[in-house]
Amino acid sequence: MIRVRITRARGSTPREEGAEMMVGPEAVTGTIGGGQLEYLAIDRARQMLARGEDRAVMDVPLGPEIGQCCGGRVELTLDREPATPAAPEPSVLIFGAGHVGRALARALLPLPVQVRLIDQRAAELSLAPEVPGELTPLPEAEVRRASPGSAYVILTHDHALDFLIAAEALARGDAAYVGMIGSATKRTTFARFARSRGIATGPLTCPIGGTVRDKRPEVIAAFTAAEIMATLLACHPAHATA
C-alpha cells in the first residue's frame, strides 16, 4: 500500500493539509479531494507499487492544465510508511428504533462513526436490518457501557425512559453529544427532573436538529446527523482529516 498525504496546501484546495488516502493495486481508501488530482495521485502511487519505489513527491497546480478549477496548489507526499493507526471512530448510540431513530441510523451509516440502534422492541429493530442493533430490556445500561466521547441520541416511545437515559448520559460527564427529541416544554420538564437528581442539563440538545420545522423523519434525521457530526468533529479533531 502507498500512503498519499497532502503535505502542503496553498490557495483554494479540495482538502486540507494532513488529508490522506491509501492506494493499493486495486483498492483505494480515503480521499484527498477527488477529481483529476486524485486520479493523478492514484496513478503515481500504482507506478510506485509496480516499480518498487518507496517515496515520491508531487507538486500539483489545481488549474486548467489538469482539468480542475480550484486555483490553488498542493504538494503530495507518497510513501510506503505505515499510516499512523487511526483512532477508533466515535460511537453514536441511538435509543429508540421508531421512524426517526431508523432514519437517523441510516443517515449516519456511511459516515465515520460507529452507529448502534438500541430498543426494547424486537419488531422495531427488525425494520432496520442493515443497522447494528441492540435488543435490551434496560437501554440505560448501554449508556454505562459506552466508550468515552460517545454521542447519545434519545428518541424512545416513552418520555420517562427518555429522561432516564438522558440523565445517565449527562451524569457520565464525558459525552460528546447528548440529544433528546422533543420540544422546549419537554426540555423544561426534563430540567426539573435532572435538578432533582443533581444533574446539570447544560450539555443537553433538545429539540434536536436545530430549528427545522419539517417533521418528516428523514428531514429531522438529516439535520440531526449534521448536528451530531459537527459536534463530534469538534471533539475528535483527528477524524476531521482522515
The count of C-alpha atoms lying within 13 angstroms of the C-alpha of 89, restricted to the half-sphere facing its C-beta, is: 14
Q: Strands across the sheet with 91-95, in order?
A: 133-135, 114-119, 91-95, 151-154, 177-180, 204-205
What pLDDT is recorded for position 84? 58
The low-confidence residues of the chain, meaning pLDDT below 50, are 241
| pLDDT given for residue 213 in this prediction | 84
DSSP 131: S
Do the bridges between strand 151-154 and strand 91-95 make them parallel or antiparallel, or are there none, so unpaired?
parallel
Query: Domain residue spans in the chain?
Result: 2-79, 91-240
Which CATH superfamily does the domain covering 91-240 fall into?
NAD(P)-binding Rossmann-like Domain (3.40.50.720)
Residue 231, helix vs strand vs coil: helix
Residue pLDDT, tens place only, 75-129: 999 999 665 566 789 999 999 999 999 999 999 999 999 999 999 999 999 999 9
pTM: 0.69
Cα 121–136–184 angle (5° rounding)?
70
Report pLDDT for 237. 64
Q: What is the 3-state secondary structure (H, E, C) of 139-191?
A: HHHHHHHCCCCCEEEECCCCHHHHHHHHHHHHHHCCCCEEEECCCHHHHHHHH
Which residue has 502507498 as its cell numbers? 2
